[in-house]
Amino acid sequence: MKSTGNHKPQIELIPGCLNGESIIKFQFEYNKQLIEIIKTIPGRRWSREGKYWYLPERYFSLSKIISELSHLAKIDYPSLESKEEVHVHQPKKDIRQASDEVPPQYLEKLLRKRYSPNTIKTYMSYMRSFVAAFHGSDLKSVTTQQINDYILNLIRSKNISSSQQNQRINSIKFYYEQVLGRKKQYYHLSRPRKEKKLPKVLMVEEVELILKQCKNLKHKCILMTLYSGGLRRSELINLKVSDIDSRRMLIKITDSKGGKDRYTLLSEKLLRLLRDYYKFYKPKVWLFEGRNGGQYSATSIEKIFHKALTKAKINKHATPHTLRHSFATHLLEQGINLRYIQEILGHSSTKTTEIYTHVCSRQLTKIQNPLDNLNPD
């Protein structure tokens, strides 16, 4: 993939063979946004040995690739026989696929509105299911009742969660309201009550125990940064070396959830460790680089955390995001004002932050149990 000036980067499609199977390789230089979009393409795979993305030829459709990626990159296919739609050894069951594709304007609108890669992946997946469910129908003529019936059928047949139900509704609403430009009142679907589950948190001693298990300098810095700043994984991955403000002891978070920028706390202990890390690893752009100088992966962070959790012999169900919940709860237990915690976490509303008051042990321990005022003996 070549990029000059303001021109789009270029993806070269190259026929090949892997383990006796005919494939089409996606050859391009590292580009995070392109990778996230490629991940939404059904049938795409990653070759660990070759370090490239590819599609088995039986799933390959050139028009589909162009509709998915042409908004981000120039598609170069010099080695393919035709610029028309290509179906190589495509079984009959995939013939329906061409008419079941998500309208190209859908992805384009998601990108223009700067939705996160994870949201784009989720919306594309759910919209693709929606299109397949109404195969042969004009989506523009699908009624509200038909959509309600579709969602209800998913609840009954697949027992989808209330969270997934809301996401599926939002992906459908996005098409009718954002892509087709219809009024919001056109589309009314009953929403499930949001489940009010408390966040899982770790005790201070448990966080300390987890961090002690990390002997690898980079891994320790990653977990300490997540906890020290109350960061989401995506925020840590996007941190640049220049985002560490050692003079003001702050970490700058750029273009986070909702497109917001903010500052969060930088621990003195973390800063000392980051200086050792910088001297040893010498990162150029991204604070935590993966292979070939690209950004670190969310999957690798997950593996680092669970390895440390297992070594610490902590049986709680926890994820890297638990460190963010724990950070907020521990601040609250220290007596930090909820409004400050809201700013540090980047919440738009205090209502989101208030959930930590329900898991804050400091406030609960101040309450005298009424049984202690009785003399049952």
Per-residue confidence in pLDDT tens, the chain, 377 aa: 444 444 667 787 877 777 767 788 888 888 887 888 888 787 788 887 778 888 887 767 776 777 677 667 777 765 454 433 333 333 333 333 434 578 878 888 887 777 776 788 889 889 999 998 998 888 988 888 888 889 888 888 888 888 888 899 999 999 999 999 887 755 555 555 666 677 889 999 999 999 999 999 999 999 999 999 999 998 999 899 999 999 999 999 987 777 788 999 999 999 999 999 999 999 988 999 887 777 888 889 999 999 999 999 999 999 999 999 999 999 988 888 888 999 999 888 888 888 888 777 666 666 666 767 776 76
87 given a catalytic annotation: no
89 given a catalytic annotation: no
Q: Which of 75, 98, 121 is the last residue of a domain?
A: 98
20: left (phi over 0), alpha (psi -120 to 50) or beta: left
What torsion, rounded to 10 degrees, do the Cα atoms 165, 166, 169, 173 define? Answer: -170
Q: Which of 76, 98, 120 is the last residue of a domain?
A: 98
Q: What is the pLDDT of residue 246?
A: 94
Answer yes or no: do 180 and 83 share one domain.
no
Q: What is the pLDDT of residue 171?
A: 92
The structural domain count of the chain equals: 3
Contact by Cβ (8 Å): 297, 263:
no
Answer yes or no: do 112 and 229 share one domain.
no
Single out the catalytic residue among 257, 262, 307, 311. Answer: 257
Q: 62-74 burial string, b = 16+ CB within 10 Å, else e?
A: bebbebbbebbbe
Q: What is the DSSP letter of 80?
A: S
Answer yes or no: do 87 and 123 share one domain.
no
- Give the pair of three-digit tokens for residue 288: 């935590």
pTM, entire model: 0.58
Domain residue limits at 71:
10-98
306 given a catalytic annotation: no
Q: Which of 57, 73, 98 is the last residue of a domain?
A: 98
Tell me if 198 is assigned to some domain. Answer: no
Distance CA 151, CA 189 (A): 9
Q: What is the DSSP letter of 270?
A: H
Single out the catalytic residue among 168, 220, 232, 330. Answer: 232
Distance CA 336, CA 329 (A): 10
User: Torsions phi, psi of 341, nearest 5?
Assistant: -65, -40
Answer yes or no: do 242 and 295 share one domain.
yes
257 given a catalytic annotation: yes
Q: What is the pLDDT of residue 37?
A: 81
- Give the pair of three-digit tokens for residue 141: 């003529």
Q: What is the pLDDT of residue 95?
A: 32
Distance CA 192, CA 167 (A): 11
Q: What is the pLDDT of residue 85?
A: 38
Single out the catalytic residue among 106, 175, 227, 356. Answer: 356
Answer yes or no: do 178 and 264 share one domain.
no
Q: What is the pLDDT of residue 88?
A: 36
Answer yes or no: do 354 and 308 share one domain.
yes
Quote the Cα angle for 18-21-27, to 5°. 50
Single out the catalytic residue among 25, 324, 325, 330. Answer: 324
CB atoms within 10 A of CB 260: 12
CB atoms within 10 A of CB 203: 14
